Amino acid sequence: MTAVRVGTAETRLVLLRGNSAAGKSSVASGLRERFGRGLALVGQDNLRRTVLRERDRPGAANIGLIDLTARYALDAGFHVVVEGILYADRYGDMLARLCADHRGPSHAYYLDVGFDETLVRHATKPIRDEVGPEQLREWYRPRDLLPGGVETVIGADSPLHRTVDRIMTDTGLAHLPPVDR
């Protein structure tokens, strides 16, 4: 397969992965709040559950839609944060191609939260009454890392503001001006 280069040398691609209730959406929102306009959030839950109303299965349509959406935003000059559980066995190939095809810097993070902490955090979420501990146990995959050691692992002991600070600095977003859109 021929690579289709996307984005520019200046655009940043950030992958945020981890189990349910690990803090992915909160970190992504924090990055957008800190950066301002010009940073696109490509959320797995939004595209899979809201746009397509699809179950998370191998080869599902949302995998391609996540890829297409991220590529479109990068080509339009946006920095992109792709966030979701994004199981390595289902999404890993797509994420690897996306990073390889991106002309600018790509950074991947795995938010590593143990199952007991997942239950505590889940209890604060709006879907807490719809999704019980049994379902969370089925979804939970400890350290479901992408192959090749490409992800920086951030533990549950890192507070939200420190995680956002770290990613802003690591990716260079902290030193880039927001885009006036």
> DSSP of 141-171, one letter per residue?
-TT-PPGGG-EEEEETTS-HHHHHHHHHHHH
The answer to whether 173 touches 107, Cβ cutoff 8 Å, is no
Q: Which helix (H) or strand (E) holds 80?
A: strand 79-84
Q: For 73, phi and psi rounded to 5 degrees?
A: -65, -40
Contacts of 141 (CB under 8 A, 6+ apart): 19, 87
For the whole model, what pTM was predicted? 0.92
The pair of structure tokens assigned to 75 is 């080509």
Residue 115 is predicted with a pLDDT of 86
Using N-to-C axis directions, what is the helix angle for 61-75 and 88-101, rounded to 10°? 20
At 126 the pLDDT is 65
In this prediction, the residues of the chain whose per-residue pLDDT falls under 70 are: 1-2, 123, 126-129, 181
Phi, psi of 140, deg, nearest 5 = -70, 130
